[in-house]
Amino acid sequence: MKLLLISTLTIVLASCGYMGNKALDYNNSLVKKQYDVSEDMNAFMDFIKISRMDSISDINSYKNELNSLRDKALNNIKECQDEIRAVGSFKDDANFQQSLLNVMELYHQGINYDYYQMGAYYLLPKEEQTTEKYNEIVTLVLAMDNKVETAELNFIEEQKKFGLKYDVALSEN
């Protein structure tokens, strides 16, 4: 299973004068929100990849932890979406902001359904834990991974355009 989540965006804007400082602050405010959400996303994904139930008594604790991590990530995504909208666009240029909102929406969809299905597979009755069902879920996850990766790459491209448009240098960290 391929899981693609950028834990931090590698592009940061370096300040070049007064406009650059405002653009840098705007960039940093958006990137921080993406980073905050990625921490919860990674915790959820790590739990799915690492956790295994060893006995019937583990089912409830596994389900509780899976749901708790999902709910925490979904709440953080919603809060970040609200904060990103509240930040607004920079000089009436909403492309950069919208590209991050698109990423957040896909994170929400993935955690709420596609990735959650992978984690919930082990909660299915044994007779429903078939190779076909597992492959169906993996197909969903891989499709979501591709959508998320595309949206994250678009966000980075919009970030680069933003930097060029507002005369700030880009450097990779």
Could you report the per-residue pLDDT of 141-161, keeping only the tens digit for each? 999 999 999 999 999 999 999
Instruction: Please state the φ and ψ torsions of residue 75, each to the nearest 5 degrees.
Output: -65, -40
pTM across the whole model:
0.83
Q: Is residue 16 in a domain? A: no
User: 111 lies in a domain?
Assistant: yes
Structural Rg of the chain based on CA atoms:
19
Q: Picking from 6-15, 49-58, 146-155, which range would have the lowest pLDDT averaged per residue?
A: 6-15
Among the residues of the chain, which ranges form H helices? 17-50, 58-87, 95-109, 115-120, 131-165
Count of domains forming the chain? 1
- Residue 30 binned pLDDT confidence (cut-offs 50, 70, 90): confident
Mapping DSSP to helix (H, G, I), strand (E, B) and coil, where does residue 94 land? coil
What pLDDT sits at residue 25? 86
Using CA atoms, how far apart are residues 109 and 144, in angstroms rounded to an integer? 8
**62 within a domain of the structure (yes/no):** yes
Domain that holds residue 67: 32-42+56-84+91-167
22 is a domain residue: no
Choice among 43-52, 77-86, 154-163 with the minimum mean pLDDT: 43-52
Whether residue 31 contacts residue 172, with contact meaning beta carbons closer than 8 Å, is answered with no
- The larger pLDDT score, comparing residue 128 to residue 34, is at 128
Among 4-13, 17-26, 115-124, where is mean pLDDT lowest? 4-13
